[in-house]
Amino acid sequence: VFYCITNSPEVIWTKTMLDMLQSNVQNHIQGFLSALQQDPYATYTFQEMDTIEYPGLDQELRCGNYYIRNVIENPEWNIENVEEVLQDALELASHTERVNQILLIRACSVLFKKKRYRRKEAIKNFEGFPLILRLVNLDRDRPDLSSENLELLNVSCELIFYSVWTSDENLTNFLKLKGLSRLCNLLWCCSRNVNECYSILTFVLKIVCRLLPSPITRDQVALNTDIIRDILSCLTVGQPFEIVSLAMQCLIELSQEDRLAQAVFKNGGHFYLLDFILSFNPSAAGDAELEKLNQLSVSACLVLGNISGIYKPQNEPLTSTEEKLQSALAQLLTKGNLERMRQQSEFQFIGGLTEAYESPVSIWNESTRNELASFIRSRIQAHQHSQQEEPDTLSFTFSAHQQELQIDGIFLRYYIQNPSWRLQNARSFVCKLLAEIEGSTQQTEKLTLILQSLYFVLTETQGLEKLIVSSEALDQFFVLLSASETTLQSLVLNIFLHATANQACVDAICASNRLPQFVSFLRNGELEQRRILLEVVSNMVSCSARAVEGITTSGLILYLLHYVVSSSDEQLCGQSLGVLKQTKSSSGLDTRFSDATKLFLPAYLVATLDRPANFLHIFSKEIRSPNIVWDSKCRSAVQQHVSSTLSNFQSSNSKEWNYSSVQRLNFEELCGQTIVGGVYLDLYLDRPEARLHNPASFIDECMSTFSSSSDNQLQSKLLLALSNLLTHYSPWAHYIAKQTPQHLQTLLSYFNNTSMDEQALAALLKIIVILAHVPACRKKFHQTSIIAQLLGSLEGHPNFEELVIRTVYLLVKKETAFIKQVLDAQGLPTILQVLDKKGSAAKYAVALIKSMVVDRKYDSHVRQLLAGREQILQDRSKLPQPEWVSILALTPSVQTPYIEPVEADARAQQVASLQRSNTSIQLQVSTPSTAGVPSQKIAPLERATTQPAITHKPQHVAHPQAAEAPAKSTPVPPAKPAELRQQPLPEAIPDASAPVPPVPFDAPPPPPPAAPSAPPPAKRPAASAGRGALLDSIVAGKKLKHVKAPTEEERKNRRNVASPSSGGGDNLMSALAGALAQRRTAMITDLAANPFADEQDDDDSEEWD
């Protein structure tokens, strides 16, 4: 050291100092040297040598064994006694002049920056915060912003920054000493003097980023929200790039807790971010300052999307503040732009704001953009210059939007022009439309737009129909139906027409007993509206049993019948027939509809409702057949009866119609015919081969008449008609088998009726013969006296012998139980008499007797009665077959009511084809639809920035040189460390992917992260990946492992290497997007890197906060 020239923290030794020492020593021993020349044996007499004052050393500050200036200039020098140096520096700084304080505090920062020293207790638990906080204290009213004090503030903030990042103990101690309030003062004072205080603001914001994850910090910020206002004051257009980025990071941290996010909202944080977003200039190519501003615009969009919850997955609930923010943004940006922000990348979204755009959710043009920018500036100024808080509900409306009807963020006029537009929350839109109807009952034009929009949203979106059948909504709709505006009525009915295709909606309408209100509208509605309503009713009947029931009980059936038999409008007639057809086919076992229609129409005509063309053809013609007699007299009677019944119902103002109180139209009197079971009896007897419409009904009424009527003439006709039916259509014998044995006994009793003529009895015998061939009838004949009645009939009608004996033989042969009836009726002698006549019946008599003997139970008894005539049993002739009548099966097709085939005339077919009405809405809009198509570019926003723009790179203010320093001047504090400087923009690499926020700074916390780029339009990633994961890592405050940070040279090389997936581009904005995309990888690496990136000689295995 003695012979080497050095200038280190431990030793300062220069050539001048060496020469001075040599000169002083030589002067000191000059006398001794002279004595030696005279006397070689002279001895040195010790004397005190004068103190040597080396020039410049008196100006050097020394702590422990180290010179402070050289410690600053040689930060890599290993300090052995760190605690002693730190303690001496703090003690000396507490009472020395300001210039020396700057050096001492800068030296302390050097100690904190070395990782190897952080194991020291004095570093981990820093005791210099009281001194440092005293030095950074500024008076808000009269802040000292002299160049010397600014440098002191700068080095003090640097020391605070590195100390709070060194350990959690330091962070906690700093907060306990109210350090946050001092930072608040610094922000307030320095943000108004950005040019001079650039470095101070940078350090303060980084410190705040480090403090905010701490619960203590959050509690203090919640108690004093001034720091939020001060942070936001740094977030204005014109502020330096790095300061704005750090302020955005602070904003993200503040928004992680709802109470602080609420404070950010109250202080208008979203306005500051929107100001950056609107400052985006698509023509920034070649202008470095504008390109930086564009990067900040993209970052502001990313931050705003995160703090407002727009980037959250849809299934993740929003906080109260996020809901308020999204509500405010929907008003400011319009709902359409807000949705584009959610779906598109930041770069795409901001670029889209530079284009005019009109859609159902957004009207965006240069006028609206400028109007929004002006409003944002006014809100920022209001928050900057006052304690004004942002209200929960924003009162702002674009002048262009005031001319439009907007509900739930949807412009109704544009939505009607483009109803296929995909709504994000159609359910909410429908609810808001329904709520708006109630307060707009007197505004026809507004109601028209609302109802048109409601119709379209229901037809384009499934599953919303139930919303319009609530009790409140139905009340509003029926109020509109009762009004005189036919346009509104048509719209309401078309809404019902769509809703009633849903069974649940129909059930809801029926449950609230709304059919009577429909009936009331039919009475007063216009023709076109009545047509639409019949379509509604048709839908209801087709899917709901309750509606089918209501057609009759509500009296709607009267209107339908009236339109069919009396209306001059063919469309209305055809639609009514269609509804009647549906009601009839859907009635099932419910007979109310059938009973009600038969009050006015013949049964056969009611049956033809299933065939509207046939019904109309028959109704307009004159027909005489066993099934119907119809002429002009009947037609007029029906029309009059329907009209009078409808008039009586309307005059009663009743909501229900009791059809049982209406007298049935007597078609027997009108036609002069006897009608039994829908059969015109005389015509049927004249045409016995005719096929009956409903034989089952005829048989049932015949059996009932046999039991109740004493009219022998009518009974004879019925027996002849029944005989005709079974002769020509034998399967119906199976249906008679379903009658009770009492009915069959009544039928058999007519053999004893002496008033019956021969023809009627012959018909009766034919009926019994046919029934005897049906096994089910034979079973029921067991409970009758059929054998006695048959054999008894031979006394007065000998010509019946063959049929009677043959029938008895059939019964005995098939059922041996009938032998007892023969014996009980003492019928064997009668049988023997028939045998003795040797007629055609004799062989059946022999067969009958043999069949009786075969049965062991009755063998002895029969033989006893045959005493003396046993030779009959010796007859070896072959017995005849018992059955001789073929009875076909009663199939479902046979039981189906028969409709005579007719060829309906052209008019009947035409009217029947009008069952469905053409009720599509013809909506008129004032202008052609151009929704959703960007029309033109918007000129860049021209306005004064909210802060003066900085056109030069801010520099640190130099220390004033120490007065009278002979050795060297006071060292100027170095400029910002390289790792904290703004990185130069790399060579643009064209890429179509979305840009990311600005290049991160090594000092944590990192800038707002972005999701990995994806080709548009890509779905936004879930919170578990991409930008969400990076933001979560910031918020969680996890310990970051010390990984090997790439060198600055490696980073530059990596950024300058073009990605193979980068697409080509022919403009600088595409190149900017590609360059920003390349930084994502570097940013993710930097997030886990040590902020003290200048150290690479420490132990990399240690974990640090």
Could you tell me the pLDDT band of residue 964, with boundaries at 50, 70 and 90? very low
pLDDT of 415? 92
Q: What integer is the mean pLDDT of 99-106?
A: 93
Token pair recorded at residue 267: 């202080």
CA-wise closest residue to 687 among 716, 718, 713, 721:
721
Q: What is the mean pLDDT of the chain?
A: 81
Share of the chain above pLDDT 70, in %: 83
pLDDT of 454? 93
CA-wise closest residue to 152 among 99, 194, 193:
99
pLDDT for residue 1088 is more than 90 = no
Q: What integer is the mean pLDDT of 1097-1103?
A: 40
For the four alpha carbons of 343, 349, 352 and 357, in that order, the dihedral sign comes to positive
Could you tell me the pLDDT band of residue 513, with boundaries at 50, 70 and 90? confident
d(CA 647, CA 669): 24
d(CA 180, CA 401): 44
Could you tell me the pLDDT band of residue 922, with boundaries at 50, 70 and 90? low
pLDDT for residue 211 is more than 70 = yes
Lowest pLDDT segment from 474-478, 987-991, 1054-1058: 987-991
**Alpha helix stretches (DSSP H) within 544-631:** 545-553, 556-566, 570-586, 592-597, 603-607, 612-620
pLDDT of 1043? 38
Lowest pLDDT segment from 73-82, 172-181, 805-814, 974-983: 974-983
pLDDT of 990? 36
Identify the residue with better confidence: 866 or 371. 371
d(CA 811, CA 781): 9
pLDDT of 731? 94
The predicted-structure confidence for 345-393, as pLDDT tens digits, reads as follows 998 999 989 988 888 988 899 999 999 999 999 999 888 877 788 898 8
pTM score above 0.75: no
Q: What integer is the mean pLDDT of 924-943?
A: 57
pLDDT of 916? 67
Per-residue CA distances from 142 to 138, 188, 191, 707, 1015 (Å): 8, 12, 15, 121, 54
pLDDT of 971? 34
pLDDT of 918? 57
**Amino acid at the residue 821:** Q
The predicted-structure confidence for 1028-1065, as pLDDT tens digits, reads as follows 444 444 344 433 333 344 555 565 555 455 444 443 44
Token pair recorded at residue 811: 């019964």
Q: What integer is the mean pLDDT of 529-548?
A: 89
Per-residue CA distances from 333 to 270, 313, 740, 778 (Å): 12, 21, 83, 89
The predicted-structure confidence for 733-771, as pLDDT tens digits, reads as follows 999 999 999 999 999 998 888 888 889 999 999 999 999
d(CA 688, CA 138): 122
pLDDT of 514? 87
d(CA 1000, CA 1083): 6
Q: Please check whether residue 911 is in contact with residue 616, taking contact to mean a CB–CB distance below 8 angstroms.
A: yes
pLDDT of 135? 92
pLDDT for residue 912 is more than 90 = no
DSSP category for residue 316? S
For the four alpha carbons of 1021, 1025, 1031 and 1035, in that order, the dihedral sign comes to positive
pLDDT for residue 1077 is more than 60 = no
pLDDT for residue 981 is more than 50 = no
From the number of C-beta atoms within 10 Å of its C-beta (0-12, 13-18, 19+), residue 589 rates as exposed
pLDDT of 383? 87
Identify the residue with better confidence: 210 or 917. 210
pLDDT of 190? 87
Token pair recorded at residue 44: 């040195």
Residue 212 makes CB contacts below 8 A (sequence gap 6+) with 218, 221, 250, 253, 254
Could you tell me the pLDDT band of residue 699, with boundaries at 50, 70 and 90? very high
Question: HEC profile for 993-1016?
Answer: CCCCCCCCCCCCCCCCCCCCCCCC
Which phi and psi angles does 252 have, rounded to 5°?
-65, -45
Q: What integer is the mean pLDDT of 690-719?
A: 92
Token pair recorded at residue 455: 């119709």
pLDDT of 978? 36
pLDDT of 810? 92
3-state percent breakdown (helix, strand, coil) of the chain, nearest 5 = 60, 5, 40
Put residue 881 in one of left, alpha, beta given phi > 0 → left and psi -120 to 50 → alpha: beta
**Amino acid at the residue 829:** P
d(CA 271, CA 249): 16
Q: What integer is the mean pLDDT of 456-466?
A: 90
Q: What integer is the mean pLDDT of 201-221?
A: 92
165-166-170 Cα angle (round to 5): 85
d(CA 701, CA 678): 9
Could you tell me the pLDDT band of residue 1017, with boundaries at 50, 70 and 90? very low
Concatenated DSSP letters of 8-71: -SS-EE-HHHHHHHHHHHHHHTHHHHHHHHH-TT--PPP-PPPPP--TTGGG--EETTEEHHHH
From the number of C-beta atoms within 10 Å of its C-beta (0-12, 13-18, 19+), residue 76 rates as exposed
pLDDT of 403? 86
